[in-house]
Amino acid sequence: MMAWLNDEHRSKGLDFVVFNGDLIHNEPRLLPQVREYYERLEAPYFVTKGNHDMTTASHWEEVWGYGENHDFEQADCAFLLGTTSNIDGDYLCVNVDWLEERLSHYRNKRHIFAFLHISQRKVTRYGVDCLEASSLLETTSNVAAVFHGHDHDVDGFMYANERAYLFDGHIGGDWGTNYRGYRIVEIDEEGNVGTYQCNPQAFIVNRAEL
């Protein structure tokens, strides 16, 4: 996967990569080893915490250099990376106070993209119903899309109240889609957002204009 992403970066250019949770399988001691692999990337990268990343908030910050709820901006876009689990691996709602404050903070950005490992709408087998969180995401006009990584056997997209929810399969693990791939998101000069899911050993799986 690191080689495929580096090829993508060299051929087309990647501003950054997001690994959307389940970086390890329950063993906190593996987290620094995962970071060693991610450091092979030639593009910057960010991570979110999944339900199998069963470690403390302090250990998470020690390894990655930022907290379980993190955000950053690039050009006219903002990116929110929130945790939807805890040290016990429970399926949780994102911290709504954090989400609301960050959405307000970036209200003047052209686009906001949210990365939450577990879907906050139970539109898949393993999602959770988080009405406050999904309402915020669906009523904040500049939220362009919400990305989930929890349902490893789902690689498509769904809409709720005109908000796009994107699912990205998996890059490792022993269950999920029958391939290991990644999603590309592109923004053109007019600010239009497009996305497609890649199977690097075969072809593009699906494409959408958001």
Domains of the chain are 2-171 (3.60.21.10)
Output DSSP code: residue 168: -
Summarize pLDDT for 159-175 with one digit per residue, the tens: 999 999 999 999 988 89
Inform me whether the pLDDT recorded for 210 exceeds 80: no
Q: How many CB atoms lie within 10 A of CB 7?
A: 12
Q: 155: which residues sit within 8 A by CB, 6+ positions away? A: 167, 168, 169, 177, 181, 197, 205, 206
**Which ranges in the chain belong to alpha helices (H)?**
2-11, 31-38, 57-64, 96-105, 131-139
Task: Name the pTM for this structure.
Answer: 0.95
Inform me whether the pLDDT recorded for 208 exceeds 90: no
Summarize pLDDT for 67-125 with one digit per residue, the tens: 999 999 999 999 999 999 999 999 999 999 999 999 999 999 999 999 999 999 998 99
Strands 163-167 and 143-148: parallel
From CA 176, how far away is CA 17, in angstroms rounded?
21
Residue 204 banded pLDDT, cuts 50, 70, 90:
low
From CA 195, how far away is CA 181, in angstroms rounded?
14
From CA 71, how far away is CA 49, in angstroms rounded?
13
160's enclosing H/E stretch is strand 157-160
State percent of the chain over pLDDT 70: 97
Residue 202 banded pLDDT, cuts 50, 70, 90:
confident
